[in-house]
Structure 1
Amino acid sequence: GPRLSLSVARSLGPSPSLRRRLSLSLNLNLTMDYHAKSEQVLLFSARGLKNSDTFSKSDPYAVLSLMELGEWKDLGATETLQDTRDPDWVDQVCVTYFFEEEQLLRVQIFDKDESGNDDVLGSAEFSLGHLIGAVGMGLKLPLSPQGELIVRAEEKIETGLHVKVQLQGSKLKNKDGFFGKSDPFLEVTRANEDGSYSVVGRTPVIENNLSPVWPQLVLGAQRVSNGDLMRPLRMQIKDWDSNGSHDDMGHFETSLEELSVPGGSWPVSYNGKTKGSVSILGEPSQFTIPTFCDYLRGGLELNVIVGIDFTASNGDPSRPGTLHHYDPNSDNQYQEAIRSCLTILSEYDYDKHYHVYGFGARVGGGPVQHLFPVGGEELKDGVDGVMEAYQGAFADIALSGPTLLKPLVEFSMNKAKEDRTSGKNAYTILLVVCDGTLTDMGQSINALVEASREPLSVVLVGVGNADFKDMDKLDGDGGMLKSSNGNSAVRDIVQFVPFRDYGGAMAGARLAKAVLAEIPDQVTAYMFAKGISPGHPDPPAFETGDNMAGFGVREPAAPPSYEDSVAFNLPGFGPPIPPDL
């Protein structure tokens, strides 16, 4: 692992900032990379689910978990589909496959309930090695107590390539009889090795129209075809029905390569006969959305603000076993969380100077303060400086409460806004370590919704054994946050991780990997939304020619606006299916 990052750094010449950004961007991925591994994309379908709703079909979603240290750890979840017992989910979940490890996975399928009491529809367990070794890397497993799970795996091919295209139908099959017209939508499926097809995207519904013009599509090559532009795609046309039993209107075969060529047209096959056609409207195009590493190569600086919970619920720091207790022989959970995450993040911060703020304590015998500098106003020098400030803080503070996060979020948001308005090529990460739920949950959500418009990500690490159920609400994995006045966050900026889920060997490295997993997508989502391309990296001291070895500046075509596109593979912009499907 370390030899890889050093050899890349040397091959790029002596330019210090470029060498640091590239070699240490690899560290984010190599934190635990001492064995053979690969990133696998998992897709899920189910058939014959039990029905838990009285007057309609279930609204299923699937959750993937990994058995780790004797406990199930959630890895990801699909979107929720409405009114169906035979779901084909679009959302994919990535899993790191270690060849030499036995990795036991579990898929649980739930029925989404507005009350929050989601019923379990079924579950199945399997090893990742069994899935990888299966014919076509696919398994059909019985669900307990009823139904069948279909899961497929494919090694992930990283690519930022996207195809922008708009499709229109003509004289499609009518499935609504003499007194109505069909409500068509496109279901995009890709071919698998065994001849089956997996759903990878859906368009919005066009109501009462047999010659529909669907909104412009942005088809991410990674999600749609795993980077293969010639991979066969089957575009299934369906008539939307409110009860979930969408009727077949026919299909046509194509590929991302064909969808990139102007003037493309395909006859629609329905029961072996041609019924209508679908053609390209206007000029399709290909463009590349830059990756996280592209932005780092272009000089993007990550600024880190550290927030520490000093409320009384952490326990008396003088007593062994409490969360802030100092032991010269071992780190407490606050120290381990801060040190592990900052060690990775510090490699992207050029000056390695950090703001460190506390909340929920009385300072110098005064009243409770909900935002105060730890160790003085001056910036802390490096990870060691942050740790020294944390350890020295207890000489001047008394733990108190309540736990209010809003002031720290607003402070960080304003810092990020200052960088944006001044034109600085920077992105801010707020790292907060706290021991329980927030007293100002509603106000904090309001602040986070507002902050989603700025170059900011918020990482929350929960320490101790508190019930963190409410904290999970801040993580946008289940849908965008909404403020009290109904405004939605424009992107997901929050990642919450309980520290207790990452004990055992290499706990700090595993925690850092989990905490920082969403940062690259959050950065690229913000840059895409703002139309920001990577800047020019520092030139190496030797001549490389034009774009030699792939390290030159890439100038992508202008990306489409999200408002007039259906994004199949744009991170941070919510589910890629219409909510009424």
Structure 2
Amino acid sequence: MSQPPGGPPPPQGLPPQGYGDPAQAPQYHGQPPQQPYGAAPPPPAGYYAPPAGAQQQQQQQQPPPPQGYYAPPPGMYQPQPGYGAPAPAPQYYAQPPAQYGAYSTQQPQAAEGQQVPAGYGYQATQGGGYYAPPLGASQPAYGTAAPASQHYGQAPAAYGAYNAMAPPPQAAAVQQATMQPPQSAVPSGGGPLNKNVRPSKVQLFVRCNDLKSKIGRGTPSPYVNVSIRFGHETAFHHTGQTESLKDNLNPEWSKRTELDFYFGELQYLVVDVCDSDAKGQKLGTFKTTLGDLMGAPNCSVTDFLSDGSGAKITLKVEPVAANDHFVFVSFAGSQIKSMDGPLSKSDPFLKIYAMDPQPRLVAKTEFVKNTKDPVWQPMQISLTQLCQGDVNRPIQISCYDYDEGSAEDLIGKFECSVAQLMRPTGFEMELDPPKRSRKSVGKVTTMGPAVIKLKESFEALLYRNLEISLITCVDWTASNLAPSNPQSLHFLSADPNHKNVYEQALETVGSILLAYDRDKYVPMYGFGGKLPGASGVSHCFPLNGNPQDPRVVGVPGMLQAYRAALQNVSLHGPTQFGEIISESIKQATSDSNAFRYTVLLILTDGAIHDMPAVKRLIASACKTTPLSIVIAGVGSADFSGMEELDGDHSRKTFPRDIVQFVPMRKHSGPHSIQQLASDVLAEIPAQCSDYFFLRQ
């Protein structure tokens, strides 16, 4: 049999002879396939036969690379592990895809400016999972089993997913059918940008009124196709389809489409109404975002279909089993033993474990420094996570001594139940020391009986007409450099399509949050600037120049006010947040709508200079104010002090987490601004839910 020079025999299952003209490399013949893959033997010579229906490339496009081979063209299926030569293992060469259809045996090599992800280029287990795509490929999920992080667990989608197993030996038509878009697919490009955020499940309900037939006669039998994409993606992905309702002009479909809702990311939605009697012809289309649906009154929108016929469509989303009961409890300790000698005191904290039956950490308190009688901040713990909803199920509480830079020391522990913590007469339990000892190591008590409350999810609050208001504030300090300087973070390009980092952040975060703000009015401020004619620096000036009404309308209004202020307000400094936080607290607490939550977005390029005042304001706002503060660090300054404000690191200072800080330098690449937005907004749903829970 004819083989490419130096190549091994073709793997088992390939045609016994080549295909096309004599070959010097495993390229694809530049003519359409003359017979299905795996059917009768192909003509005698040259090239291996590609899978049926695959797009073939011209022989003369370019010579093969000197080592290994590039990944196959978009949409190509790998017919066998090691298809082509010289590639005995189905790995991928780590350079941008080109026009050749074989697989490299080399270890992965980074493309220019990129790093090789973990596990990239190595073999998967033969019986399950699918290989990772080449670097730079837009990757949908693909396959069934996914035993490692570089594998994907869904059906094939539109681009760049490669099957590590042989295709079934059916005829071409069957094989071609397997290449159609799936009913459900994870979006290409890796899905959500923030992989650490768990989505909320929502269901989409659809109905229509006054549909019109497109075939000129008869009554349509309509069904709905639902497609979705993230803001950083270019292609939509089919995610659901309803049943077809026979001869119905006012259909209300019973089958619902389950969607993953990510609050911090743009998710575009396309709903196509089609007629099964006319081979799927579209009766009309409706486009929106999932955020606009979630932010609409009762999470429901009614509007006209795009076909101009006057037909209407109603979309409604509902949360899926998102509420939970939480136990609300406050602990204190007495006579806690010192683990650092008789002349010192411990820095005690508690860990609370579920028993499965082995201990599983569910929650922990902050540590209280240098005391034998600690009082810890109140805790709220999911009853489902703690005891599977059974208040009599055993739990474990352990007391530790915190030691910075070294392992924590176990002081003692005990088992109890949530029911015991709820005793009206109070709860007190002796700590059992880790070693047998008759000496007491201390006690743990509750500050009043524990209480169980229903905690509504963020999605459930939206469903009950929660609104979100946005306040924005931009850094006007001189460390940004003058707007005329191309190195400035405030640089205004003559190209209207080129936006600086402040504009990009305002546009991206604003587009997400304003979906939940029905009037779209945004109070907009700056800090650290000197107004025309003013002798001093202002740390809370309206960007629109109107102190009586600092609001602008929507994202276009935000960008317009920002650019206008750069022409009139001088950069100065220092960086102070106190005045804008105080103003935001005032606006959030004076709002006549009791079912509204406010988000303050601060964009800054440096560390703040009024930290004590800011801490006092945040500590006060934690208890009574429907407010979250998200801070995006867009410069290269030292932001280490900001971590003190982030509730992830400061629970002993702030009883409710209302601050999220993310430095922009944490992200790089073409979607860095979208990743920044996703990160700074990631905790808003939980913070909002916590506020209304604690207000009960």
TM-score, scaled relative to structure 1: 0.51
| Residue 507 of structure 1: how far off its partner (Å) | 1.8
Secondary structure of 2:261's aligned partner: helix
Report the counterpart of residue 298 of structure 1 in structure 2.
464
Q: Is the Cα–Cα contact under 8 Å of residues 421 and 449 in structure 2 kept in the other structure?
A: no
CA distance in structure 1 between the aligned counterparts of 2:350 and 2:572, rounded to whole angstroms: 56
Secondary structure of 2:687's aligned partner: helix
Report the counterpart of residue 359 of structure 2 in structure 1.
197
Secondary structure of 2:465's aligned partner: coil
Report the counterpart of residue 613 of structure 2 in structure 1.
443
Report the counterpart of residue 348 of structure 1 in structure 2.
516
CA distance in structure 2 between the aligned counterparts of 1:239 and 1:445, rounded to whole angstroms: 27
CA distance in structure 2 between the aligned counterparts of 1:9 and 1:489, rounded to whole angstroms: 38
* CA distances 1:321-374 after superposition (whole Å, capped 9, x unpaired): 210001224221111221121111111101111111112222224333222111
Q: How does 1:268-287 map to 2 (within 5 A)?
A: 287=453
| Residue 159 of structure 1: how far off its partner (Å) | 5.0
Instruction: Specify every segment of 5 or more residues in structure 1 that has no aligned partner in the other structure, as ranges.
Output: 15-21, 35-156, 168-184, 209-214, 263-267, 272-281, 482-487, 532-581
| Residue 497 of structure 1: how far off its partner (Å) | 0.9
1:25–1:433 CA distance, 2 compared to 1 (3 A): farther
Report the counterpart of residue 506 of structure 1 in structure 2.
671
Identity of aligned residues (%): 31
| Residue 416 of structure 1: how far off its partner (Å) | 1.0
* CA distances 1:226-277 after superposition (whole Å, capped 9, x unpaired): x56599645478899999865778757x7x7999999xxxxx9x99xxxxxx
Is residue 2:640 matched to residue 1:478? no
Q: How does 1:216-227 map to 2 (within 5 A)?
A: 219-225=381-387, 227=388
Report the counterpart of residue 380 of structure 1 in structure 2.
552
Q: How does 1:509-548 map to 2 (within 5 A)?
A: 509-531=674-696
Secondary structure of 1:477's aligned partner: coil
One-letter amino acid matched to 2:671: M
2:491 to 318, 325, 332: 325
Is residue 2:331 matched to residue 1:160? no
CA distance in structure 2 between the aligned counterparts of 1:223 and 1:7, rounded to whole angstroms: 21
Report the counterpart of residue 391 of structure 1 in structure 2.
563
| Residue 30 of structure 1: how far off its partner (Å) | 5.6
Secondary structure of 2:263's aligned partner: helix
1:23–1:395 CA distance, 2 compared to 1 (3 A): farther
* CA distances 1:6-36 after superposition (whole Å, capped 9, x unpaired): 994544899xxxxxxx9999341665899xx
Report the counterpart of residue 289 of structure 1 in structure 2.
455
TM-score, scaled relative to structure 2: 0.43
Q: How does 1:108-123 map to 2 (within 5 A)?
A: none
Secondary structure of 1:495's aligned partner: strand
CA distance in structure 1 between the aligned counterparts of 2:400 and 2:614, rounded to whole angstroms: 42
1:220–1:310 CA distance, 2 compared to 1 (3 A): same
Q: Is the Cα–Cα contact under 8 Å of residues 325 and 452 in structure 2 kept in the other structure?
A: yes
1:494 to 641, 659, 683: 659
Q: Is the Cα–Cα contact under 8 Å of residues 307 and 358 in structure 1 kept in the other structure?
A: yes
Between the two proteins, the alignment pairs up a number of residues equal to: 362
Which has a greater percent of helix? 1
Q: How does 1:400-411 map to 2 (within 5 A)?
A: 400-411=572-583
One-letter amino acid matched to 2:515: E
* CA distances 1:163-220 after superposition (whole Å, capped 9, x unpaired): 57999xxxxxxxxxxxxxxxxx99753345xx64324357999x99xxxxxx999652
| Residue 433 of structure 1: how far off its partner (Å) | 0.4
1:441–1:10 CA distance, 2 compared to 1 (3 A): same
| Residue 449 of structure 1: how far off its partner (Å) | 2.6
| Residue 434 of structure 1: how far off its partner (Å) | 0.9
Q: Is the Cα–Cα contact under 8 Å of residues 263 and 685 in structure 2 kept in the other structure?
A: no
Secondary structure of 2:638's aligned partner: coil
1:237–1:359 CA distance, 2 compared to 1 (3 A): closer
CA distance in structure 2 between the aligned counterparts of 1:198 and 1:333, rounded to whole angstroms: 43
1:220–1:387 CA distance, 2 compared to 1 (3 A): same
Secondary structure of 2:625's aligned partner: coil
CA distance in structure 2 between the aligned counterparts of 1:431 and 1:450, rounded to whole angstroms: 19
Secondary structure of 1:521's aligned partner: helix
1:216–1:314 CA distance, 2 compared to 1 (3 A): closer
1:437–1:297 CA distance, 2 compared to 1 (3 A): same
Report the counterpart of residue 28 of structure 1 in structure 2.
263
| Residue 505 of structure 1: how far off its partner (Å) | 3.6
1:235–1:362 CA distance, 2 compared to 1 (3 A): closer
1:33–1:469 CA distance, 2 compared to 1 (3 A): farther
1:231–1:26 CA distance, 2 compared to 1 (3 A): farther
1:232–1:309 CA distance, 2 compared to 1 (3 A): same
CA distance in structure 2 between the aligned counterparts of 1:198 and 1:238, rounded to whole angstroms: 15
Is residue 2:412 matched to residue 1:412? no
CA distance in structure 2 between the aligned counterparts of 1:425 and 1:388, rounded to whole angstroms: 30
Q: Is the Cα–Cα contact under 8 Å of residues 340 and 511 in structure 1 kept in the other structure?
A: no
CA distance in structure 1 between the aligned counterparts of 2:350 and 2:609, rounded to whole angstroms: 45
Moved more, 462-471 or 230-239: 230-239
One-letter amino acid matched to 1:293: E
* CA distances 1:398-448 after superposition (whole Å, capped 9, x unpaired): 1112222211111111111211xx453211111010110122222222332
One-letter amino acid matched to 1:393: A
Is residue 2:459 matched to residue 1:459? no
Which has a greater percent of strand? 1
Secondary structure of 2:509's aligned partner: helix
One-letter amino acid matched to 1:462: G
Q: How does 1:101-250 map to 2 (within 5 A)?
A: 160-163=324-327, 188-192=352-356, 196-200=358-362, 219-225=381-387, 227=388, 229=390, 233-235=394-396
One-letter amino acid matched to 2:649: G
Report the counterpart of residue 540 of structure 2 in structure 1.
371
CA distance in structure 1 between the aligned counterparts of 2:593 and 2:385, rounded to whole angstroms: 33
CA distance in structure 1 between the aligned counterparts of 2:566 and 2:519, rounded to whole angstroms: 27
One-letter amino acid matched to 1:323: L
1:365–1:427 CA distance, 2 compared to 1 (3 A): same
Instruction: Specify every segment of 5 or more residues in structure 2 that has no aligned partner in the other structure, as ranges.
Output: 1-185, 192-198, 210-256, 270-320, 332-348, 425-429, 435-447
Q: Is the Cα–Cα contact under 8 Å of residues 306 and 431 in structure 1 kept in the other structure?
A: yes
* CA distances 1:50-75 after superposition (whole Å, capped 9, x unpaired): xxxxxxxxxxxxxxxxxxxxxxxxxx
Is residue 2:475 matched to residue 1:309? yes
CA distance in structure 2 between the aligned counterparts of 1:369 and 1:240, rounded to whole angstroms: 46
CA distance in structure 2 between the aligned counterparts of 1:372 and 1:238, rounded to whole angstroms: 49
1:395–1:456 CA distance, 2 compared to 1 (3 A): same
CA distance in structure 1 between the aligned counterparts of 2:613 and 2:530, rounded to whole angstroms: 22
Report the counterpart of residue 336 of structure 1 in structure 2.
504
Q: Is the Cα–Cα contact under 8 Å of residues 264 and 682 in structure 2 kept in the other structure?
A: no
RMSD value over aligned CA atoms? 5.2
One-letter amino acid matched to 2:261: L
CA distance in structure 2 between the aligned counterparts of 1:363 and 1:217, rounded to whole angstroms: 46
One-letter amino acid matched to 1:470: G
CA distance in structure 2 between the aligned counterparts of 1:474 and 1:454, rounded to whole angstroms: 16
Q: Which has the higher contact order (CA 8 A, sep 6+)?
A: 1
CA distance in structure 1 between the aligned counterparts of 2:328 and 2:521, rounded to whole angstroms: 42
Q: Is the Cα–Cα contact under 8 Å of residues 163 and 259 in structure 1 kept in the other structure?
A: no
Q: Is the Cα–Cα contact under 8 Å of residues 323 and 460 in structure 2 kept in the other structure?
A: no
CA distance in structure 2 between the aligned counterparts of 1:372 and 1:8, rounded to whole angstroms: 43
Q: Is the Cα–Cα contact under 8 Å of residues 31 and 513 in structure 1 kept in the other structure?
A: no
1:438–1:23 CA distance, 2 compared to 1 (3 A): farther
